[in-house]
Amino acid sequence: MTQETGGFAALGLHPNILAALTAVGYEEPSPIQSQAIPVILAGHDMIGQAQTGTGKTAAFALPLLSKIDPAKREPQVLILAPTRELALQVATAFETYSKQMPGVNVVAVYGGAPMGPQLKAIRQGAQVIVATPGRLVDHLRRDEKVLSTIQHLVLDEADEMLKLGFMDDLEIIFEAMPESRQSVLFSATLPHSIRAIAEKHLREPQHVKIAAKTQTVSRIEQAHLMIHADQKINAVTRLLEVEDFDALIAFVRTKQATLDLAAALEAKGYKAAALNGDIAQNQRERVIDSLKDGRLDIVVATDVAARGIDVPRITHVFNVDMPYDPESYVHRIGRTGRAGREGRALLLVTPRERRMLQVIERVTGQKVGEVKLPNAQQVLDARIKKLTSSLAPLVADAEASHGDLLDRLTADIGCSPRALAAALLKKATNGQALDLASVEREQPLVPSVGAPRERRERDGERSGERGEYRERRAPLPLTEGRVRCRTALGTRDGIAAKNLLGAILNEGGLAREAIGRIQIRETFSLVELPEDGLDRLLGKLKDTRVAGKALKLRRYRED
Q: What is the mean pLDDT of residues 242-252?
A: 92
Q: What is the mean pLDDT of residues 237-256?
A: 90
CA distance 483 to 516: 9
Question: Is residue 463 over pLDDT 50?
Answer: no
* Range(s) of the chain covered by CATH 3.40.50.300: 6-209, 220-375
pLDDT of residue 464: 34
CB 264 within 8 A of CB 276: no
CA distance 207 to 185: 10
pLDDT of residue 511: 79
Better-predicted residue by pLDDT, 73 or 305: 73
Better-predicted residue by pLDDT, 412 or 8: 412
Question: Is residue 373 over pLDDT 80?
Answer: yes
DSSP letter for each residue of 295-363: S-SEEEE-TTTTTT---TTEEEEEESS--SSHHHHHHHHTTSS-TT--EEEEEEE-GGGHHHHHHHHHH
Looking at every residue in the chain, the average pLDDT score rounds to 83
CB 238 within 8 A of CB 377: no
Question: Is residue 176 over pLDDT 80?
Answer: yes
On whether the pTM is more than 0.75, the answer is no
pLDDT tens digit string along 403-414? Answer: 889 899 999 999
* Range(s) of the chain covered by CATH 3.30.70.330: 475-555
Question: Is residue 474 over pLDDT 60?
Answer: no
What is the three-class DSSP state of 422? Answer: helix
Instruction: List all residues 6 or more positions away from 471 whose beta carbon is below 8 Å from its beta carbon.
Output: 228, 231, 445, 446, 447, 448, 449, 459, 460
- Write down the architecture of domain 220-375 according to CATH: 3-Layer(aba) Sandwich (3.40)
Q: What is the dihedral of CA 75, 78, 84, 87, to 10 degrees?
A: -100
461 band by pLDDT with thresholds 50, 70 and 90: very low
pLDDT of residue 411: 92
CA distance 258 to 272: 10
CB atoms within 10 A of CB 342: 10
Q: CATH number of 475-555: 3.40.50.300, 3.40.1180.10, 3.30.70.330, 1.10.260.40?
A: 3.30.70.330
Q: CATH number of 6-209: 3.30.70.260, 3.40.50.300, 3.30.465.10, 3.40.50.10190?
A: 3.40.50.300
pLDDT of residue 458: 35
pLDDT tens digit string along 207-228? Answer: 998 765 545 466 789 999 999 8
pLDDT tens digit string along 519-543? Answer: 888 888 999 999 888 988 998 888 8
Strand partners, 249: 299, 317
Residue 245 identity: F
